[in-house]
């Protein structure tokens, strides 16, 4: 795509069709259950629909959607932790995408937030460390160190056979 993309009535539908699954999967990794992931993903698209945003291209769209989704999920998780009366003992309902190994996805979702975000964006969404650093407003060296630390944690959980480095 070239030029500026403004999500108007048909533009929004195209944007939604292109990116719904991407945004939902990102929300699922953070929220750890389908219902909350769907709510957060819908909120992202409501922001697009009700805002006056202009995207330069599809890459700009994806980056904006990713950052917005992560921020909305963080806000929702922070609010839930403040209530403290939530059902913490409830087991999360995780439906792993078929193209990803279930054990690996569960291990990634169990990582602390700072690792989970960079692993998801790097391995599942294909962003480079410098792009992730820009999206998360972190130094590139921090992102590379978090990727390294996350790989070590995953190796401990999954073993060398399950991780396949």
The Cβ of residue 79 has, within 10 Å, a number of other Cβ atoms equal to 10
Taking the C-alpha atoms of 16, 132, 124 and 41 in order, what is their torsion angle to the nearest 10 degrees? -30
Res. 57: pLDDT tops 50? yes
Domain with CATH 1.10.1740 in the chain: 1-95
* 41 touches 34 (CB < 8 A): no
**Whole-number average pLDDT of the chain:** 77
pTM equals: 0.59
In CATH, the number for domain 1-95 is 1.10.1740
Rounded alpha-carbon distances, angstroms, from residue 69 to 3, 58, 60, 75: 24, 16, 14, 10
Architecture label for domain 100-165 = Orthogonal Bundle (1.10)
DSSP, collapsed to helix, strand or coil, labels residue 99 as coil
């Amino acid at each position: 795509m070239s030029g500026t993309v403004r999500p108007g009535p048909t533009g929004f539908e195209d944007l939604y069709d292109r990116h719904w699954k991407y945004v939902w999967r990102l929300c699922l990794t953070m929220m750890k259950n389908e219902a909350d992931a769907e709510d957060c993903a819908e909120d992202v698209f409501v922001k697009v629909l009700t805002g006056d945003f202009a995207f330069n291209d599809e890459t700009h769209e994806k980056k904006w959607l990713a950052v917005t989704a992560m921020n909305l999920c963080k806000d929702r998780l922070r609010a839930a932790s403040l209530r403290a009366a939530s059902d913490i003992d409830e087991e999360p309902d995780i439906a792993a995408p078929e193209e990803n190994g279930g054990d690996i996805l569960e291990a990634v979702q169990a990582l602390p937030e700072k690792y989970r975000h960079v692993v998801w964006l790097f391995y599942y969404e294909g962003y480079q460390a410098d792009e992730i650093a820009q999206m998360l407003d972190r130094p590139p060296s921090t992102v590379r160190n978090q990727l390294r630390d996350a790989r070590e944690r995953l190796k401990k959980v999954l073993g060398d056979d399950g991780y396949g480095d």
